[in-house]
Structure 1
Amino acid sequence: MIDDLKAQIAALRARTAPLEPGLEEREALAQRALAHAQAFLEAIPDAPSRQPAADVFLHRLEPEFPDAGRDPAAVLDYLGTCVEAPGFATTSPRFMAYIPGGGVFHAAIGDFLAAVSNKYSGFASAAPGATRLENATAAWLAEAIGYPTGAAGTLTSGGSIANLSAVVAAREARDPDGGGAVYATRFAHHCVDKALHIAGRARAPRRTVATDERHRMSPAALEQALAADQAAGIRPWLVIASAGTVDTGAVDPLSDIAGICRRFGAWFHVDGAYGGLFALCDEGRERLRGLSLADSVVVDPHKTLFLPYGTGAVLLREGQHLLDAFSASADYIRPLGDFDVGPSPADLSPELTRHFRALRLWLPLQLAGVDAFRAAQSEKLALARYFHARLSMLAGFDAGPPPDLSVVAFRFLPEKGDADAFNERLLHAVQEEGRVMLSGTRIDGRFTLRCAIVSFRTHIEHVDEAIDALARGVSRLQAP
């Protein structure tokens, strides 16, 4: 029986050989993958910013999941044609529709090395080096937004999980039994609603705070709402402000809001997923005054630090609140000892199993240096002002309020006809052209165009292209 079992095991082992390629095969595969990546990167400057989604079916793999491995060249060709090309090209310097950061190459190397080592970064005892980097990068982010010693944070998959983590920490700190009221403007990101639902606070009293002419939270309206609730016996719990709203990039008056929250004992949370990390550069720090006064802040390095998707962070001014909300253990994962590398990331977030995310942030900062990121951020803020100034000079355009950060919300006002319908057609014309990618939204019922300048690859010539694309679109639509 043992001999038969050993023979069966040997046969199964032989069939697993493709899972462990040898040195020469690894080198060949790595070189082929690198060549594929290099070709992709070299094509970015002239590639369309959007290609038809139907191209995903230009080729089909039959069967899609084969019993035996395929030729790597064929697999990479399929990947390039049917996966990388269709849809939005968020890597394009002319992609100004939404807020990705383009994906710096150094971060891809970091992801590769993290995947090869496969370090489990959840617990210090399993990977003290990885844990130290996780805590070091979170501490650097906290320092970048102006938080003092004693702050703590953790890397997440993005702003949604980061906002959820902040809401849970705020719940445990200030509203464990429920009943507290929530305050936000109509421009708060929809993931906040989802976070409140998951955290068991979907039915909390909700107050929509009025905004000013630049779509920023009104401190006077906030104070009035808090005072009214307090007088009615409803406890103010959570105030959610924005450091860069989705629609217009507006930054709420954070210092004023912080003072109001202190007076009423409310937890002050800032969703800075888009704009919070502009605090790294001088111009951004000035526009984000008061950010460091928040009890919790969400930032997304995959936006304004230009990392690949899947890199967010939640930061708390008093880090103990994260440990209080998320620390847990079990016999099978008890620490093997004490390590002077800070808390285990699993005790700071909902995640137990987690990718070694820190390397995709730590490595670019080491290889490129912080100043390169700082300069790129300043450039984006300047480019947004440039776009707004140029658009203001074009007949028929309402450039909207000057940008707080790097998003410009604007409209074309035709001399006759429905302005909303015209702007929808204008956006469609620009997108169909495929050269420049912009997006649209509705603000107070009016269809509005958006230009979001965030990619590290976007420079002044690309902004000029966006202006030219808009001008061409208007000319075509107004042609007799």
Structure 2
Amino acid sequence: MIEQLRAEIEALRAQTRPLEPDAGQRRAFGEQALDHALAYWDQVEAASSNRPWSEVFAQRLDPEFTEEGRDAAAVLDYVRECVDAPGFATTSPRFMAYIPGGAVPYSAFGDLLAAASNKYSGFASASPGAVRIENACTQWLAEVIGYPKEAAGTLTSGGSIANLTAIVAAREARDPDGGGAVYVTRFAHYCIDKALHIAGRGRAPKRIVATDDHCRMSIEALEQALEQDRRAGVRPWLVVASSGTVDTGAIDPLPQIAELCRRYGAWLHADGAYGGLFALCDEGRALLRGIEQADSVALDPHKTLFLPYGTGAALVRDGKLLQQAFSASGEYIRPLGESEVGPSPADLSPELTRHFRAMRLWLPLQMAGVAAFRAAQAEKLALARYFHARLSEIDGWDPGPAPDLSVVAFRYLPKSGDVDQFNERLMQQIQQEGRVMMSGTKIDGSYRLRCAILSFRTHLEHVDDSIDAVVRGAEALGG
């Protein structure tokens, strides 16, 4: 019986060998994969920023998954044609749609190192090195926005989970039994509503606070809403302020909002997923004055620090409140002993199993240095002002408000016809041409094109190219 079972096990073991390539096979495929990545980066400068989605079917895999596996060259060729090529090229220096980042190459190598060791970064006792790196990264992010040493944070998959994490911490600290009111503007990102719903506060009293001429939260309107609720016996719970809206990049007046929150006992959450990390550069820090007074902040290093998608962060000024909201444990994974590397990320986050995502932030900072990131941010702010200034000098264009950060919301004003329809057609024209990728939005019912400048690869010549593209597009439509 035992011998027969041993023979069956050995036969199964032989069939598993493709899962563990030997040293020569690993090196051979590693070289092919690296060549693939290097070739992709080599063509980024000249490649289109948007290619037809139909190219996803340039090749067909039939069957999709084979029993015996495929040749490495064939697999990488498929990735090149059917994955890398079609759709948006978010790595392009001319990708100015949504909020780009660009994915610095060192981050890709960081992901490789993290996946190779497969360190479990949830608990300090399981991987003290990985946890130390994550805690070092979140502490650095906290320092960037001006938080004290008592702050704590966790790396997330992006701004949506970062906002959710902060809202849960705010719920546990200030609204455990419900009933507290929420205050936002109409420019708050829709992930806030989603987070409130997931956190069990989707039906909380919600006040839409008016904005000023620059799309920023009105202090007078917020104070009026808070006072009305207090007099009506409704407890102010959560004020969500924007540190860079996705529509225009507007920054709400954070110092004044913080003062009102202190006066009325409300938790101030700053959604800085787009703009919060501009605090790294001098100009951005001045624009974001007051963010350090927020009770919590959501950040997206995959935007303002140019990392690959899947890199967000939630920070709470009083770190113990974050730990109280999420700390839990099970008998099978109790800590093996005390650690000097700081708290376990699993105690600061909804996630237990988690990717070692800190390496994709830590490695670029080690290799490139902080000064390069600081300069890149300052360059993007200047490029946005340059785009706005150049468009202001060309007849027929409404450049919109001067940008707070690096988003310019603008439109063309045709001499006849519907303005909104013309600009929607203009957006389609630009996107279909594929040279420059932008996006559109509606502000109070008026359609605007959005130029979002944030890729680390975007420089002066690419912004000039974008100006040429929008002017060329308007002319093609008879403007």
Fold in common (TM above 0.5): yes
Distance in 2 (CA, whole Å) between partners of 1:304 and 1:450 is: 17
Q: For 1:9-408, what aligned pairs fall within 5 Å after superposition?
A: 9-408=9-408
How far apart are 1:240 and its partner, in Å? 0.1
CA offset digits 1:396-445 (Å, max 9, x no partner):
11101100000000111111100000000111111111100010011111
One-letter identity of the residue aligned with 1:333: I
Question: 1:410 is matched with which residue?
Answer: 410
CA displacement at 1:100 relative to structure 2? 2.4
The match for 2:446 is: 446
Aligned-residue RMSD, C-alpha: 0.6
Show CA shifts across 1:167-223 (max 9, x none). 000000000000000000000000000000000000000000000011000011101
Aligned 8 A contact 2:299 2:313 in 1: yes
Give the secondary structure class of the aligned counterpart of 1:364: helix
Shift of 1:389: 0.2
Are the aligned partners of 2:326 and 2:349 in contact in 1 as well (CA < 8 Å)?
yes
1:311-330 C-alpha deviation (Å, 9 max, x unpaired): 00000110001111000011
Q: Look up the SS of the partner of 1:478 in the other structure.
A: coil
> Could you tell me how far apart the structure 2 residues matched to 1:336 and 1:258 are?
41
- Consecutive unaligned residues of structure 2, counting only runs of 5 or more, are none
Q: Quote the residue 2:464 is aligned against.
A: 464
Task: Report the residue type matching 2:416 in the other structure.
Answer: K
C-alpha separation in 1, matches of 2:110 and 2:474:
44
Q: How far does residue 69 in structure 1 lie from its aligned partner after superposition? A: 1.4
Deviating 4+ runs (over 3 angstroms):
none
Matches of 1:302 and 1:100, distance apart in 2: 8
Residue 52 (structure 1) shift:
0.2
Amino acid across the alignment from 2:350: P
Task: Kindly indicate whether the alpha-carbon contact (under 8 Å) linking 2:209 and 2:221 is maintained by their aligned counterparts in 1.
Answer: yes
Query: Whole-Å Cα distance in 2 between the matches of residues 350 and 96 of structure 1?
Result: 32
CA distance in 2, matches of 1:100, 1:140: 22
Offset at residue 474 of structure 1 (A): 1.1
Mapped partners of 1:111, 1:449: distance in 2: 34
Distance 2:136 2:45 in 1: 34
Matched residue type, 1:474? A
> What whole-Å deviation, never above 9, does each CA across 1:236-286 have from its counterpart, x for those lacking one?
000000001011110101111001101000000000000000000000000
Contact 1:100 1:309 in 2 (8 A): no
User: Given that residues 170 and 267 in structure 2 are in contact (C-alpha distance below 8 angstroms), is that contact kept between their aligned partners in structure 1?
Assistant: yes
SS at match of 1:329: coil
Task: Check the 8 A contact 2:158/2:311 in 1, yes or no.
Answer: yes
Q: Does the residue aligned with 2:477 lie in a helix, a strand or coil? A: helix
CA distance in 2, matches of 1:395, 1:428: 21
User: Shift in Å at residue 333 of structure 1?
Assistant: 1.1
Secondary structure of 2:171's counterpart equals helix
Amino acid aligned to 1:312: G
Report the residue type matching 2:9 in the other structure: I
Distance in 2 (alpha carbons) for counterparts of 1:333 and 1:185: 43
Mark the runs of 5 or more structure 1 residues left unpaired by the alignment. none
Whether the 8 Å CA contact 1:155–1:311 is kept in 2: the answer is: yes
Aligned residues: 479
Q: Distance in 2 between matches of 1:438 and 1:360?
A: 27
CA contact (8 A) 2:100 2:453 kept: no
5 Å-filtered alignment, 1:468-479, equals 468-478=468-478
Contact 2:440/2:448 (<8 A) preserved: yes
Tell me the distance in 2 between the aligned counterparts of 1:317 and 1:359.
24
Distance 2:343 2:460 in 1: 44
Check conservation: 2:304, 2:454, Cα contact below 8 A: yes
Residues of 2 paired with 1:221 and 1:53: CA distance?
45
Q: TM-score, normalised by structure 1?
A: 0.99
> What is the match of residue 427 of structure 2?
427
